[in-house]
Structure formats: structure tokens, C-alpha cells
Structure 1
Amino acid sequence: MDTAVDLHWGRVMNLASLDLNLVVALRALLEERNVTQAGKRIGLSQPAMSAALARLRRHFGDDLLSRAGGRYELTALGMTLLDRTTTACDMLERVFSSQATFDPAQEEHEFTLIASDYAVTVFGAELVRAAHAEAPGVRFHFRQVSPDVDQNTGTLLSTSDGLLIPHGVVSGFPTVELFRDRWVFLVAEDNPRIGDRLTLDDLARLPWVTYQRTHDSPAVRQLSMLGIEPRAEISANGFQSLPFLVAGTHRIALIQELLAARLLGTAPVRVMEAPYDVVPLQEALWWHPVHTHDAAHIWLREIAARVGAKLDPASGHTGQGHRPQG
């Protein structure tokens, strides 16, 4: 089970019996791997930090730090606790920084969103503009989506304000629906192997450029039901690089129509319709339940929903657009 803060650690724990200051001490010790430096980091003397380490060792029944020559190394349990403690501290900071009220015109605040370059380009740029019009003191930090997002969703959401990703990749967390988009294909303008229309045979025989892992997209997974396994020649960490990796080659790539419209003219490629009934893309903002009643996050969700509605093709406010060939 993917949880934001795992406080079981092998046995049921009672939060009321824990000294949460030890969580801060534990993080400092595991990251610094030095009692004196860990103490300086959190404002404790060397004797006080040594006492905290002794308490932690008794609690876990493990040395956590073991001497190797003139330095300390983490034990196996210490390595396990390193990531968990970082996540726990981030979650605690978010819990205790929650606000009952939020005045966007007056307050300063930073939001961290995990997103692909597609989501930042198509949605994030519009979100930032709309947010700054109402809240000039608000800052945004965008972090790249990792390939293992489906395996570590809870951890990612517990250390951020939200995840911008379409349905079909993650589930089980609250969402704000944003906008719909369509998958289309990119091919080189001078690709002699492709006619006026793409065919299923083209998808099976031509090399692909894919985003991260080949089958991350539900639109690609659909092809396996048609008996087609994409032959990925290149895997890229961003959607914006796809036109340049396709141009001048026999490769093909799936890309979102709204992004393709924004990249039109940047590389000699054609945008073409899929030769199958490709599943649509529904972009959403996923967030952790800890943010449910936080006033600043409620404001973020509300403005995200407004911006998303303007981007939805059904609303007629998608900005510059085009229709794929074929």
C-alpha cells in the first residue's frame, strides 16, 4: 500500500506516545551521517544530539549509523528510513503550514506541482498567468514527472501540492478535472514511407519515439489490443523534443494535439490522425487528501478548474489550433 507516511515500521505505533522532535533529529542524522553536523543543522548541542541518537537506537533496536573507519555509514534500516523520514518531515511541514484563510491579493505562498513538459506548456503557463493576476505574491515550482509515478503516487503527492497527469496512469486520490485533449501522430514532412493517411501497418513497421516508457500512455497500450507492439527506437523525457526527434527520419511519435499546435513550425513534421479510435486524454490535477480543507489549496484548485475549462476544446477557448492531416 502506497502511503505518504508509514508509521508502522514493523509494529503499530501510537502517535501520542512519540516525540515528533525525534523525527527531525532522525532526518538530520541520516542525511548528515555525523552527530555534530546534525546537531548544528537543527540547533542542538553535541551531547543533546548524541542523546537523541541513543533514544532512536533504542526505539528501532538498530544502530542506524555504524562507524566505518573514520566516518559513519547508514545501516540497512537507516537506508530504509532515509526516504521515509524525508517524506514524513515534508508531510508534517505541509500539515502545520495549512491555513484557515487565504487572501490571494495579500499573501505570499509557494505551490509545488509535479508535471510533464506538456502539462507545463499547455496548462501551467496559463495557470501561472491567471494566478498572478489574482495573487501577485504566489510562486510556482514545477517538478518533472518520474517514470515510476504510478508506483509512488502517495509519496509524490505528500511532498507536493499536486500532480498534473491524465486519467489512466494513477488512481485512488482526489482530482480536479481540467481539460480534454486528443492524441495525434507526428511524422517527418519528407518521410517517403507514409502516404496521406497513417495506417495500422505504418504503426507496426516504423520505428517510434516515445515519452519515457513505451507503454506509459493508455493510447499506446490500446495498440496491444490490436496486435501491435510499438518498436521504440528512442525514449525521451519530454514531449517538446518529439518533433525534433522525428524530423528527417522514418520515425513516428504520439503527441497531444494542443501541444502540437503550440509547436507548429518548430520542426519540419506533419501532424496526422491516428488510424484507430484512440482513447481521448482527460488531464486532471491530483492532490493528497491532507490538502482538502487548506484555504490556499482550495484557491489553487478553484483557479486550476477555471483555467482548465478555458482550455477544453468544448469551451471554444483553446487558443491557436489546427486540424491534423488525414
Structure 2
Amino acid sequence: MSDHPPLSRLDLNLLVALDALLTERSVTRAAQRLHLSQPALSASLARLRTHFGDPILARRGNTYELTPLAIRLTEYTSAALESARRVFDAQAGWSPEDSTREFSIFGSDYSFATIGRAVSRLAAERAPGVRFRFMLHNPAIIDDIDTRLRYVDGLLMPHGFLDNLPYADMSKDDWLIVASADNARAADGITMELIAESPWVFTYQSRTAFTSASRQLQQLGIEPRIAAVVESFLTLPLYVAGTDRLGLVQAGLAPIISAPGDIVLHKPPFDATPIQNALWWHPVHDRDPEHEWMRALFAEAANSARS
């Protein structure tokens, strides 16, 4: 048997109060936000403190700060509220043309600038009331992705980082090396010698966050000298332009990042393995007709990118 109290014994209105308290960090402001009296919200805070065995809000001088537990609860509370709204907004017959649903997707700026942009445009044509929220992922999110995907609609990420989750393949892409337009050593192309000797700008450089091409360089026996790490593919060229640094980006970004003319894109001098992009989601969404519509939209956008 579970040690957790059944939902029927919990006052789910406390979830709304908790979300307001965590957001406002003030009983007065939270009460104003919910159009409640301050004593009423203070009573809710007292019940929350009893339930969690934690003060939630701790006084520091003339202000209140969230306790460590409250900080952890912040993200889960908003996700739980969003899930509850979806439960009660669900309809037996769903029409995308009349819907105002918001789909939330994790991914990198690369995936949003390519497949995400195409999906958003298709949605605007087919379902003008539907909205997409594209949220940048980070290593902490990926490490906890099984939980995170319960509360969002999907994750755009290449193969090689996740398993045991449903997915739909999107487009394939190649890697290109970024060099400054005034880098004389790169003027005639990129050599393995230049790769080994140049400083580099990398993205997502950690034990669990990396790019397949940067890992491939290490497998070839080259340990690049890293001058900067940025968690953005679109801003990486800014750290390369006007320097002797090199970087790696996906070919799909070429039309965007090469427009200013201060960088040059080169094919790698090694056989860089292409990346296979995919849309991943949690199995709880498998039979959701609204989610199925969303997945079909991503598939159509991916097919357009291939053609």
C-alpha cells in the first residue's frame, strides 16, 4: 500500500495558493493575486506548512525568502497546475481550428530556429488559436528528463542522449566548422593540424552534455583547447568572429549565422557523423488526440525540410 494520502483527502485548492505564494514570495501580494483576504491566505499557508513540515516562506529581515524545499517545489507546482488545467480543459471532440491550447517543447536554440520555426508557422495557418512555448533545455533538465516530460509536450534533441522513450525522427543534419572570415590560417580550408592547434568555442561541454562532433574529435585523439563554452549554437559564431578560434555548428543554421559575413563555414576534414534530430515525448501523451495532432505537425515540418 502507498504511504501517500489519497487525493480525495487533499484540498487541491492549496495547490493554487502554493503557486501564488511561491511566485510572489509574500502573503499580501499572493492574496491580492488570488483576490483573497490576507487572513484566508495565511490560513492556507499554515495548512501548507503543516503538510510539508516546512515554513515555505522564511523571514529574512523585512522580506521573505523561499526555503530550500520551497525552491524545489516551485517548478513542480507550476507543472502540476498546468497538468490539472489540461485535465479539465480536455474535450471529447477536439478541433485544432477552435483550440487555444499551448504546447510546451524543450530544445536548443538550433532546434527552435529550424524545426520549431517551421512548426510554429504551420500551426499559425491551421490553428491560429494554438500556441507553442519553446523552452531552452539545460543539462539538469536532460538528467531528469523522464520526470520533466510528464509535464511538457516534448523535447527536440538528436539521438544518442535518451532511450526508452517514444520518439519521431525529424531531419538529419551535418556539422560545419566555423572560422572567422579574417582567419588567415583557415583561408584555404580546415586541416587536422589546424584543428589540433587552434583554440575552440564549444557548446554544452560537460560529462552528459556535448555535441557528437566534439566527442568525435576526442575519439580521433585530439583534445581541443577550449577558450569558451556557450550553451547556444546561434551565439557561438559571435565568439569566433575576429579571432583565431574555431567552432562547430549544424549545417541547418548556415543561412542564419553566415548572413553578417564575418564568419566562414567549412566542411570538416574528418568524416563527421551526421546528427539525427528527433521529437521525444513521455508515454502518457501517446493517446492524447491533441498531442497526436501536434506530432503530425512536427512530422509535416520535418518532411518539408527534407524536400
Bin the TM-score by the shorter chain.
0.7 to 0.9
Q: Which residue is equivalent to 2:234?
A: 240
Does residue 11 of structure 2 align to residue 15 of structure 1? no
Distance in 1, Cα, partners of 2:42 & 2:70: 16
Q: Report how far residue 179 of structure 1 moved.
A: 0.9
Does residue 164 of structure 2 align to residue 193 of structure 1? no
Q: Report how far residue 147 of structure 1 moved.
A: 4.5
- Where in structure 2 are the equivalents of 1:128-277 lying within 5 Å? 128-154=120-146, 156-194=148-186, 196-213=188-205, 216-277=210-271
Three-state SS of the structure 2 residue aligned to 1:108 is coil
Greater shift in the superposed pair: 113-122 or 146-155: 146-155
Deviations 1:299-326 (A, max 9, x none): 11001111112213xxxx1xxxxxxxxx
> Contact 1:117–1:144 (CA<8 Å) still a contact in 2?
yes
Q: Percent identity?
A: 42
Structure 1 pair 149–75 and aligned structure 2 pair: CA distance change class (3 A):
closer
> Contact 1:100–1:295 (CA<8 Å) still a contact in 2?
no
Q: Which residue is equivalent to 2:70?
A: 78
Deviations 1:73-117 (A, max 9, x none): 434433333333233323333343344433223333333333322
Distance in 1, Cα, partners of 2:256 & 2:50: 58
Q: Which residue is equivalent to 1:58?
A: 50
Q: Report how far residue 185 of structure 1 moved.
A: 1.2
Structure 1: gaps of 5 or more residues: 1-7, 318-326
Does residue 94 of structure 2 align to residue 102 of structure 1? yes
Structure 1 pair 69–119 and aligned structure 2 pair: CA distance change class (3 A):
closer
Amino acid at match of 2:129: G
Structure 2: gaps of 5 or more residues: none
> Contact 1:90–1:158 (CA<8 Å) still a contact in 2?
no
Question: What is the total number of aligned residue pairs between the two structures?
Answer: 304
> Contact 1:188–1:251 (CA<8 Å) still a contact in 2?
yes
Distance in 2, Cα, partners of 1:189 & 1:219: 22
> Contact 1:243–1:267 (CA<8 Å) still a contact in 2?
no
> Contact 2:181–2:261 (CA<8 Å) still a contact in 1?
no
Two-structure CA RMSD over aligned residues (Å): 2.8
> Contact 2:166–2:282 (CA<8 Å) still a contact in 1?
yes
Structure 1 pair 21–172 and aligned structure 2 pair: CA distance change class (3 A):
farther
Does residue 33 of structure 2 align to residue 41 of structure 1? yes
Name the TM-score, length of structure 2 as normaliser: 0.84
Q: Report how far residue 254 of structure 1 moved.
A: 0.9
Return the structure number with greater helix share.
2
Amino acid at match of 1:235: V
Distance in 1, Cα, partners of 2:65 & 2:258: 52
> Contact 1:247–1:267 (CA<8 Å) still a contact in 2?
no
Three-state SS of the structure 1 residue aligned to 2:140 is coil
Distance in 1, Cα, partners of 2:226 & 2:90: 44
Deviations 1:194-238 (A, max 9, x none): 364533332221111222436621221122222222222133343
Amino acid at match of 1:233: A
Name the TM-score, length of structure 1 as normaliser: 0.80
Q: Which residue is equivalent to 1:24?
A: 16
> Contact 2:258–2:264 (CA<8 Å) still a contact in 1?
no
Does residue 107 of structure 2 align to residue 115 of structure 1? yes
Structure 1 pair 136–69 and aligned structure 2 pair: CA distance change class (3 A):
closer
